Amino acid sequence: MERVLALILAGGASERLSILAAERAKPAVPFGGKYRIIDFTLSNCSNSGIHQVAVLTQFNPRSLAQHIGIGRPWDLDRTSGGIVILQPFLSRSGRNWYKGTADAAYQNLYFVEEQRVDEVLILAGDHIYTMRYDHMIESHRNRRADVTVGVVEVPLSEAPRFGIITLDHNEKVVAFDEKPKEAKSNLGSMGIYVFNKSVLIEVLEENAERKGGHDFGQDILPQIINTHKVYGYRFRGYWRDVGTIDSYWQANMDLIVDLPDLNLYNPETEVRTVFQNMPPAKFGPKAQVFRSLVVNGAIINGEVRNSVIFPGVFVEEGAQVKDSIIFNDTTIGKGTIVDRCIIDKQVWVGGGCHIGYGDDMTPNQEEPECLNSGITLVGKGVKIPNGVKIGRNCKIGYWVDRNDFTTTTIPSGSSIALKVSKRHQI
């Protein structure tokens, strides 16, 4: 698709993902056994024939920038067009850190103006879905719209989490309510916008002069639906905002059902990522694996059920992993039980442990809104001694060492943090 620029907003912090996004940008969080979240948006661009892409970063950008590199997995390593990473910077002209999604685009308006394009596609880098953006852009052009907004049906019970859009019989946007307590519609904004380039420049410059917020959803869209031709584009496929621990865990579990709504095996919507040259997954003589994703480089000698296993994971003999997500290069020791957990990279869990034990669902004392459904988090680089029992809704901070465990029983809702400050690369 020619003459289209994609701006991927990938700079926001995510407190609701707790320690999974404490030291990495949310779009860089691993997902689905071999991907990172941003791979879905980048792959959608590639599959839609969009080869002019800019990624706007800010919070903890190093691992994200390292992952994207020059864009080769997504066919974006091009001499004309291709991918560029734009980071905020301070200058005498008054530039500063981004104050919202619209401000992020505004501070890079010089880049947009330089591109020979007709439309600018605004995307979020932290959602899980496969979508042909070219179909949305064709609809935008056929309607001669100024702005087109991607919308998806959401349960009314979850409407307060979304920007809610009301369309008329011609699919024109007639109302936009950001996270309403009582929704007038069940159409949620996907955070995907097609702007005519001239319209984007106009509305961003007007918004920059106003006092108040600088977000596309909360501030710009409500202001322009009566002054511009703003249409909705209905998306009917799988789409998930994985902005919470529960939604992130569920989106991973959605992949292991017999016929998942998100089809990773469709060549027309291939999800691409950085290639890792690893040997095939290996299953020992006593291994048992049921309804799980197990990626190259993993060695399974124990039992894995309803789980997602990333590369380099070693599940030792007699260990049981159930309803869990285990990131790269983690070892689960002999006889250990891991139940309804998310364990980050390079974790060593000793033998005879039980991570996620008991029926006590006490919410986490530090993050009760994030950890309250029984999922226990273990951060990157943690080393758990033999025989430790960790309850539900617990949080073990990244790089916690054996010496940081002062007891072998960690009650539900507890947290353990690193006692001695260390610097490590995520």
The residue ranges of every structural domain in the chain are 4-269, 282-416
Distance in angstroms (rounded) separating the CA atoms of residues 56 and 277: 29
Q: Looking at 35-49, 115-129, 158-172, which range is the least confident one?
A: 158-172
Q: Is residue 2 pLDDT above 90, yes or no?
A: no
Tell me the pLDDT band of 374, cut-offs 50, 70 and 90.
very high
User: Which residue, 255, 105, 127, is CA-closest to 190?
Assistant: 127
Q: Which fold has domain 4-269?
A: Spore Coat Polysaccharide Biosynthesis Protein SpsA; Chain A (3.90.550)
Distance in angstroms (rounded) separating the CA atoms of residues 298 and 408: 28
- pLDDT tens profile 171-201: 999 999 988 888 889 999 999 999 999 999 9
The CATH class of the 282-416 domain is mainly beta
Count CB neighbours of 128 within 10 A: 24
| pLDDT of amino acid 93 | 56
Distance in angstroms (rounded) separating the CA atoms of residues 397 and 20: 10
Instruction: Considering only residues 285 and 426, tell me which one the structure prediction assigns the higher pLDDT.
Output: 285
Residue 33 DSSP label: T
Name the pTM for this structure. 0.94
Instruction: For the sheet with 282-283, list strands across it.
Output: 282-283, 299-300, 314-315, 331-332, 348-349, 383-384
Residue 218 DSSP label: I
Tell me the pLDDT band of 254, cut-offs 50, 70 and 90.
very high
Distance in angstroms (rounded) separating the CA atoms of residues 128 and 242: 7
Task: Extract the tokens encoding 227.
Answer: 């002054």
Distance in angstroms (rounded) separating the CA atoms of residues 78 and 357: 51
Q: Is residue 134 pLDDT above 90, yes or no?
A: yes
User: Which residue, 74, 63, 76, is CA-closest to 27?
Assistant: 63
Kindly state the average pLDDT of the residues 78-94: 78
Instruction: Considering only residues 11 and 410, tell me which one the structure prediction assigns the higher pLDDT.
Output: 410
Three-class DSSP category at 163 = strand
Task: Extract the tokens encoding 142.
Answer: 């056929």
| pLDDT of amino acid 425 | 43
